[in-house]
Amino acid sequence: MKNTTLLPYLTAMGIDVFAPRQSTAATTAIIPPTLNWERLQQQAATCQRCSLHQTRTQTVFGVGNRQAALMIIGEAPGFYEDQQGMPFVGRAGQLLTAMLQAIGLAREDVYIANILKCRPPNNRDPLPEEVQSCTPFLEQQITLIQPKLLLAVGRIAAHYLLKQKSSLETLRGKIHYFSKSHTPLIVTFHPAYLLRNPQDKKKALIDLQFVHDTLQPIH
Ligand code: URA
């Protein structure tokens, strides 16, 4: 007989039963990928689904470890990212790198991508139609990587991935799930916000520690 079947009887008999605790480790549903990396990257590079292709220097596909346990999702490329074709290479990127180092991770350990692959003019917020056209690329990346945990940095990424518009403060400090892949997801501040509001860096470090602790049991 299984222990679970016996449990009510043992409990009724006043016998203490010690069972292994359920792991709190994040779990990820597996979605079969439909495109391979090369085809996906090529499609993104030549994409003309929205008007941002007219103003971009190049697309910023994403960078890092394609087997990463942690995938970081930002908003959209800025000036330097558009020039270099890599996400988070400007000042905000340097802060993101330092935040990762604080929990013992190098950029090469994680995968970094954005909601949008092209820079919006003057770094304005992405428009809903741009998000709608572009996010199939991101969703394919998530499917291919199957990360154990997503870290949404900033309001735009969090709101898209969670399909809700709560304040960042409300969203921080909890494990959410990206519904399309059931991937666990944590929210923190965007590093560009932290550059403007350095008093919140301590809170961001608490979030990063939460990321670290959540990843621990599942490495
Ligand atoms: N901000 C983002 O959200 N992404 C980048 O790649 C750079 C700045």
Tens digits of per-residue pLDDT, 117-147?
A: 999 999 999 999 999 999 999 999 999 999 9
Q: Check if 89 has its Cβ closer than 6 Å to any atom of ligand 1.
A: no
**pLDDT at residue 34, as a whole number:** 75
The pair of three-digit structure tokens given for residue 31, joined into one six-digit string: 């979605």
In angstroms, rounded to a whole number, what is the distance separating the alpha carbons of residues 61 and 118?
Answer: 9
Q: How far is the CA of 76 from the centre of ligand 1 (A)?
A: 5
Q: Which has the higher per-residue pLDDT, 188 or 17?
A: 188
Helix (H, G, I), strand (E, B) or coil at 47: coil
Q: Which CATH superfamily is domain 61-218 in?
A: Uracil-DNA glycosylase-like domain (3.40.470.10)
Q: Determine the distance separating the centroid of ligand 1 and the alpha carbon of 12, expressed in angstroms.
A: 58
Instruction: Report how far residue 189's alpha carbon sits from residue 51's, in angstroms, rounded to the nearest whole number.
Output: 28
| 143 Cα: distance to centroid of ligand 1 (angstroms) | 21
- How much is the mean pLDDT over the chain? 88
Name, in order, each residue with C-beta under 8 angstroms of 179's C-beta and a sequence gap of 6 or more: 163
**Ligand 1 atom closest to 157 (CA):** 3
Q: Report whether residue 191 contacts ligand 1, using a CB cutoff of 6 Å.
A: no
What are the sequence ranges of the domains in the chain? 61-218
8 Å CB contact between 187 and 172: yes
Single-letter amino acid, residue 26: A
Pick the atom of ligand 1 nearest to 75's CA: 3
pTM of the model: 0.85
Q: State whether the beta carbon of 82 lies less than 6 angstroms from ligand 1.
A: no
pLDDT digits over 83-103, tens only? 999 999 999 999 999 999 999
CA of 77 to the centre of ligand 1 (A): 5
Mean pLDDT of 155-169: 97
Q: Which residue in this structure is represented by tokens 């979030």?
A: 207
Q: Is the CB of 87 under 6 A from ligand 1?
A: yes
Q: What is the mean pLDDT of residues 198-209?
A: 98
Determine the distance separating the centroid of ligand 1 and the alpha carbon of 112, expressed in angstroms.
10
Cβ–ligand 1 contact at 120 (below 6 Å): no
How much is the average pLDDT of 48-70? 98
Residue 206 φ then ψ, to 5°? -60, -40
